[in-house]
Structures are given as C-alpha cells and as structure tokens.
Amino acid sequence: MEIETAKSAGFCFGVERAVGTVYEQLKQGRPIYTYGPIVHNEEVVRELEERGVKVITDENALSETIPEENAIVIIRAHGVSEKVYNELTEKGFEVVDATCPFVKKIHRTVMEESRIGRKIIIVGDPDHPEVIGIKGWIHGDCIVFKEVSDAENFVPEEKSEYTLVSQTTFQSKKFKEIVEILEKKEYNVHVVNTICNATEERQRDAEGLARKADAMIVIGSSSSSNTRKLFEICKNCCENTFYVQTPDDLDMSKLKSANLVGITAGASTPQKLIEEVQNNVRGTYF
C-alpha cells in the first residue's frame, strides 16, 4: 500500500494566525476568552480550554458574561458582526481581533458597497459563522445563495444593482456555476471572487489526489465547512472516501484492498492529527 498526503492539507494562514494569537496572548497570564470557537476543530479548542481559555458561544452568552479584571477576548478566525464587535468593547473586554485577513477584506467590501446603495449577495452557508459575520457589516439588503438553484430562481429588483461575494471556503466550482447563471441572465451584478486562494488550492489538490487514489481519508471537524466541501469533492471522484476527526474514527479494515490511500485535511486540522492518521495507516499495513 502507498500513502500520499495532499501538499496543502492542514492549517491555512488564517487559522494558523488565529491559533497563534491565542497562544501568544496566553503568555501574558491574563484571563482569555474567545468569541466562538477560535477555529472549527474540537481538538484544538479542547487543548486551549485545558490551558484556561474560555469560549463565549454567542450573543446570549456574551450578555451573561462578566469580564474578569484584565480579561482579553479574541475574535475567532471566522470574524463577527459589527454589532458583536461593538458589544465586546462596550462590555469592557480588551479585544484582540484574530479574524482572517481575507474575511476582514470581505467585511470592508460589503460595508463599502452597501453604503453606496448596492444590494449584497453572499454565496455561502447562511448558518455558518463567517457568513453571519459578513451579513453583520452590511448596511442594507442582503441575499444568501447556498445552492446553484438559488441563483437559478433569483429575480432581481428592478433597477437595483448588486454586489456578489463568497464565503472564503465555498466550493470553487459551484461558485463559478452561480456566476455563470447570473451572467447569462444579464443581471446587474458586480462579482467579487472572495474564495481564499488556499481554499481553491486545497480543493484542487484533493480532487487530483482523489482521482488516482483507491481510498481517500479526509480529516477534520464535522462543523468545518471547508472540510465538508473537501469530502464532497473527494467522494465525487473516489467512492471509498472516509471523513474522520481523529484516527479512532477510521475503520482500517476498509483500506485493505487499497493500493493508494490519499489523505487530505481541512484548514482547521492541526498537523499532529494528520501525522497520527498517517502513522496509524502505516502501522496497520506496513
């Protein structure tokens, strides 16, 4: 059996920056909170909680939280709405913003575009914290396209102008399909492709590896949007694709007949988890 791991598997720049920010702030010895899990990976969050980092889960929890003296709250990589950002400072926290810079760019884009009267279309999952945060910087109307069918069924308001952005981890091919549909209908839509380059690279690598592999392992949290999309992409190319969060989730017997096992991982998956999966597969069959 041969094992090949996608080159782009694991932490992206934004995640590495966010997690690194938490560890850097821990050196100060002050009480640390994160607004929402700092990234979508339970193993990472658990390790930080063991070091004393507390998680404010949502706005309801924020209203009930009384900051300890000198408390710091770190904004997660997915970002937050303008309202939440202001509430954090008003609450008395020192705010450290670990929002991914690519997400922050979307915040600025939608704020500026909505202020000049354009209606905003976001391509992404409306329940995902990144999309919720983006919506919170829009000064005006907003529409979310989750599926290609949303674009097919879309009828714009007469004489309205739209700006379309995307969740950074949205599936690149599906985004292009949506854009093509809107272009064919000749709607007045200004498209800003805000899918992160690292996301596109990870998806291309995963697809290329899945096409030649006999089995694929996709590592990441079930709450991770970009990992779920990697699984969808790999599953379309390789029927024997398995989604795991830790090495314990993988049934090694399902890999017995595979000559080539491909491994990829979501943007919030730490390198040590990837190595543990690699070592488990090697230890079983070598």
Chain segment 84-105, per-residue pLDDT in tens = 999 999 988 999 999 999 999 9
- Residue 96: the pLDDT is 96
Which residues contact residue 198 at a Cβ distance below 8 angstroms, ignoring those fewer than 6 apart? 8, 12, 13, 267
Residues 191-211: what's their mean pLDDT? 94
- Residue 251: the pLDDT is 86
Average pLDDT, the chain: 93
Residue 156 has pLDDT above 80, yes or no: yes
| Cβ burial 48-73 (10 Å sphere, 16+ → b, else e) | beeeebebbeeeeebeebeeeeebbb
- Residue 63: the pLDDT is 86
In the chain, what are the domain boundaries? 2-10+197-285, 13-98, 102-191
Please give the Cα distance from 65 to 79 (Å, whole number). Answer: 19
Residues 225-247: what's their mean pLDDT? 93
Q: What is the CATH number of domain 102-191?
A: 3.40.1010.20
- Residue 230: the pLDDT is 94
Q: With pLDDT > 90 as the criterion, what percentage of the chain qualifies?
A: 76
- Residue 286: the pLDDT is 53
Which pTM does this prediction carry?
A: 0.87
Residue 81 has pLDDT above 80, yes or no: yes
- Residue 285: the pLDDT is 54
Question: Which option is the CATH number for 2-10+197-285: 3.30.70.100, 3.90.550.10, 3.40.1010.20, 3.20.20.220?
Answer: 3.40.1010.20
- Residue 115: the pLDDT is 96
Which residues contact residue 285 at a Cβ distance below 8 angstroms, ignoring those fewer than 6 apart? 1, 252, 255, 256
Domains 13-98 and 102-191 alike in fold: no
Q: Dmax over Cα atoms in the chain, in whole Å?
A: 65
Residue type, position 23, single letter: Y
Catalytic residues: 130
Residue 185 has pLDDT above 80, yes or no: yes
- Residue 128: the pLDDT is 94
Residues 125-147: what's their mean pLDDT? 95
Domain covering 13-98, topology: Rossmann fold (3.40.50)
Q: How confident is the model at residue 5 (pLDDT cuts 50, 70, 90)?
A: very high
Give the least confident one: 61-70, 110-119, 165-174: 61-70
Residue 19 has pLDDT above 70, yes or no: yes
Residue 284 has pLDDT above 70, yes or no: no
